[in-house]
Amino acid sequence: MRSENGTSGQKSRSFIEEARRAQIVAAAIEVIAEAGYGQASLARIAKHAGISKGVISYHFAGKDELMEEVVERTYGGIAEHVMARMEGLTTATELLRAYVLAVAEHMRGHRAQLAALGEIFHNFRDADGKPRYGVHTSEQIYQTLEHFYRMGQESGEFRDFDVRVMAVTQSAAIDNMFAYWAAHPEHDLDAHANELADLFERACRA
């Protein structure tokens, strides 16, 4: 998302600054994934990163900003990979299958990110106590899926169904596939993803 434009006038972070932020984000991901959001104190993250506690405060405005950056970077990585895998596909059936498989493929190599993302989504709250992320944050994903469903319905590939329910369900199915895999590391993620693709193809098709 951040510009790598050499001619732009926008200020950019120094190399060392960027490296530190990345290091801290990585440490945060590992600690959150392992110990859970509630135990992921700045002290613990700093210790895991091998740095002083104050360094985090120096590079991030606060814990909130750190959490947001974890989400941002992780999401960015997923989106980038999935977009690439879906490029050039045209039918709704193909797109949906590619979507499921691409997310699974990417996550297979980023298990901790996955767990951390879930922890943050379920726990991170604003100062006013409202969840910072959550179902309402998934709106973008829902709309993307709904777009594919409508494509399929208009092309005749898919039957008539409630696209919102289908989007919520498919999104949940994918999320839980990862949760199950996280709890059962020997579970065959790719096979699961293929089963899911079949499942939703059958659930959608005319």
Partner DNA sequence: GATGAATGAGCGTTCATTCAT
Partner DNA sequence: TATGAATGAACGCTCATTCAT
Q: Find, among 196, 122, 193, 203, the residue nearest to 159 by Cα.
A: 203
Q: Is 52 in the site for DNA (CB under 7 A)?
A: yes
| In contact, 42 and 63? CB cutoff 8 Å | yes
Q: Which stretch binds DNA (CB under 7 A): 38-46, 73-81, 91-99, 109-117?
A: 38-46
Instruction: Return residues touching a second copy (CB under 8 A).
Output: 34-39, 118-119, 122-123, 125, 129, 131, 134-136, 161-162, 165-166, 168-169, 171-173, 175-177, 179-180, 182-184, 191-192, 195-196, 198-200, 202-203
For the chain, give percent helix, strand, coil, nearest 5.
Answer: 75, 0, 25
> Is 117 or 145 the residue whose CB approaches DNA more closely?
117
| In contact, 58 and 122? CB cutoff 8 Å | no
Can you tell me whether residue 97 is helix, strand or coil? helix
Q: How far is the CB of 164 from a second copy (least distance, A)?
A: 9
Length of the chain: 206
Contact residues for DNA (CB under 7 A)?
A: 2, 14, 16-17, 20, 39-44, 51-59, 62-64
